Structure 1
C-alpha cells in the first residue's frame, strides 16, 4: 500500500509539472551546463511533455489495478465497473462541453460590451460636434 501511495504521489506530481516550473528548472540547468536560450526552452518543453506522459501511464496503471481489486474483492463485477467508467466518462465530457460553452459565451458577451461602449463613445463625439 505504501508503494502504491508513493507511485500515485510521484505520478501526479510529475503530471502537475507546469511549463513555468520546467522553465525555472531549465534556467538552473542553463547556468550549470551553459546552455543557450533555445536549448533551455527545448529542455523545459521536453520536461513538461514527459511529465504528462508519466502521469497518463500512472493513471492507466492505477485504473487497471483498482478495477481488478474491486472485482477481486467482490464489491462489483467487471461489467459493473466498466459501466461505471463509461458513465463517469460521459458525464465528464458533458461537464467539459458546458464549461467550454460558458467560457465562449462569456468571452462573446465581453467582446460585445466592448464594441457597444466604443460605438457609444463615437456616437457621443459625433453628436457633440454637430451642436
Structure 2
C-alpha cells in the first residue's frame, strides 16, 4: 500500500494473536509494521515482520519492487515481531546492508546468526 510517493506499507496483520507479550489481551490481533522506500536508485526496508508471515510479506515487497535488490534493511529494534524475518530477508537479498546500532548487531548475530555488511 502506497503511503506517499515512494514510501509503501508492507507490514502484515496478525488476527490470531490473542495476547501481547502473553499478558495483555489483543481482541483485534496486532499489526507488524514494516515500510519499503523505493526510489529510482535505492531500496530500503524498515523493519521486518514475524517470521510466520514471511511468505505474505515477501509477496508484498515483490509486488512493489519486482526483482530489484534491497540495498538496506533499517532495524529499529529487535523484538521478534519486528525482527523475526531478518534471516529470511538476508537469504533472499544476500547483498543487503543492515543498518542499526552496535547493540542491534550483537543481537542479530546472537538471535539469528546473521552477519555481513552493516552500517552502524
Question: TM (normalized to structure 1)?
Answer: 0.24
Task: Give me the TM-score of the superposition, normalised by structure 2.
Answer: 0.25
Name the structure with the higher helix share: 1
- Larger-gyration structure (1/2): 1
